[in-house]
């Protein structure tokens, strides 16, 4: 109720007409509840680059391990990279894309393969 402390009949009628999403902040002033826009985060494509040395089987294994997909899909992407030079493994937020790139490159170096994974704005 307004600051005076007791409710008039008129005030009570006005209160009864309020809709659920109208709120009051201590002085009888009506405000709409804020509904902040949540911006969609920028997305990044994670890419594999072709090279002449990494075995095809290893590339397929990498795709299945780090970008969960069927052997058929992994083979399709590997062949795309092999013939076109580069290809998209997936699209992620920046932090997830950075993590995928780091894990793939670490895994490839660990196995002494020159396979390169990188990212770019989608
Ligand atoms: N070009 C490689 C070969 O002939 C295969 C390959 C495919 C390598 C995709 C990297 O991202 C790659 N063995």
How confident is the chain (122 residues) per 10-residue block, as mean pLDDT? Answer: 38 38 48 83 98 98 98 98 98 98 98 98 98
**In whole angstroms, what is the distance from residue 30 CA to residue 12 CA?**
15
pLDDT at 30: 65
pLDDT at 33: 74
Instruction: Name residues contacting ligand 1 (CB within 6 A).
Output: 48-52, 54-56, 59, 78, 81-82, 115
Burial 46-84 (b: 16+ CB within 10 A, else e): bbbebeeebeeebbbbbbeebbebeeeebbebbeebeee
Count how many residues are written for the chain: 122
CA 92 to chain CA centroid, Å, is 5
pLDDT at 87: 98
Q: Which residue in the block uniquely carries the two structure tokens 């005076």?
A: 4
**In whole angstroms, what is the distance from residue 101 CA to residue 93 CA?**
12
pLDDT at 74: 98
pLDDT at 5: 36
Q: Nearest residue CA, atom 7 of ligand 1?
A: 82
Contact in structure between 89 and 48 (CB atoms under 8 Å): yes
**How far apart are the CA of 58 and the centre of ligand 1, in A?**
9
pLDDT at 24: 36
pLDDT at 32: 64
**In whole angstroms, what is the distance from residue 45 CA to residue 67 CA?**
12
pLDDT at 13: 38
Structure tokens at 54: 């990494």
Predicted TM-score of the model (pTM)? 0.75
């Amino acid at each position: 109720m307004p600051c005076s402390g007791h409710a008039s009949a008129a005030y009570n009628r006005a209160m009864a007409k309020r809709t659920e999403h109208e709120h009051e902040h201590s002085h009888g002033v009506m405000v709409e509840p804020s509904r902040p826009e949540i911006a969609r985060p920028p997305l990044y494509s994670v890419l594999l680059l072709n090279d002449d040395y990494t075995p095809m089987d290893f590339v397929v294994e990498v795709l299945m391990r780090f970008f969960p997909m069927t052997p058929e899909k992994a083979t399709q992407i590997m062949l795309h990279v092999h013939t076109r030079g580069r290809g998209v493994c997936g699209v992620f937020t920046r932090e997830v894309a950075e993590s995928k790139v780091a894990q793939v490159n670490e895994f490839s170096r660990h196995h002494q393969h020159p396979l390169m994974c990188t990212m770019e704005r989608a």
